[in-house]
Structure 1
Amino acid sequence: MSGQAPDAAAIERMAREAMSLIPEPFQSHLADVVLIVEEFADDETLDALGIEDPLDLTGLYHGRPIGEKSSFESGALPDRIHLYRVPILYEWATGGEMLERLVWHIVVHEVGHHFGLSDDDIHALEDMVE
């Protein structure tokens, strides 16, 4: 990478690779999830979450967990996973974990929210993939 920080496209490639490793029955429910890589979360998102430092948010799931969806809903925005490049790179630089592994961990965590999983269930999903 010639000494430059990975750009949004590189983070997105890592995230798509991570999503492809998630096993069934989860995998078949991810086709319609939109993946978005941005530099930082916007002020409205940070305020809604009560987060003061934008470096504290590396990823966020927007949508309704699968178990809460209704076939009567229409016109809703697609489910989205937002990854925030600068906070991810900051965590990578200060944490010592490989960047691909960090992105994978964030993606699995946000996918877990898509399925309405608890943190314990998300850790079990991570263990399944490892």
Structure 2
Amino acid sequence: MHPDEIPPDEFDDLVRDALDQLPDEAARLVSEIAVVVREVPEPGQAAPDQLLLGTFRGIPHTAVGGRVPGSLPDVITLFRVPILAVCRSREEVPPRVLKVLGHEVGHALGLSEGQLRSYGWF
């Protein structure tokens, strides 16, 4: 079976497995963040030449002042179709899901794209 044939419910299981693999500190942070899976990004969510695998929307953990009362919750979104598209085999999917999740957790911790790339979480 090619990776793009992984059905949504099986992909959701891979995301749950990736969440279980996070280090304790990251897992504590993620317990306060909604983690969702969408098929693809919304139109206009990514630049035309950008393949968007995931996003973090919220207030980074390092931000001074924290959450404003009444504001929307923090959300990590993983995009199933683009993640599967970059994988050449089924075996590549679980580590890619973990890498994308880790990358977005890094943003939740306040790390920049440059910092995440230097740590290998791109």
User: What interval of TM-score do these two structures reach, taking the shorter chain for normalisation?
Assistant: 0.7 to 0.9
Match of 1:31 in 2: 31
More helix by share: 1
The offset of 1:66, in angstroms, is: 0.8
| Length-normalised TM-score, structure 1 | 0.75
Q: Secondary structure at the match of 1:60?
A: strand
* Percent identity (aligned): 27
Match of 1:8 in 2: 8
Match of 1:115 in 2: 109
Q: Summarize the Cα distance change of 1:108–1:2 in structure 2 as closer, same or farther, 3 Å threshold.
A: closer
Query: In structure 2, how many angstroms separate the alpha carbons of the residues matched to 1:120 and 1:52?
Result: 24
RMSD over aligned Cα atoms: 2.9
Match of 1:91 in 2: 86
Q: Which amino acid aligns with 1:80?
A: V
The offset of 1:108, in angstroms, is: 0.5
**Please, which runs of 5 or more residues in structure 1 have no aligned partner?**
none
| Length-normalised TM-score, structure 2 | 0.80
Dislocated runs of 4+, deviation >3 Å: 1-4, 118-126
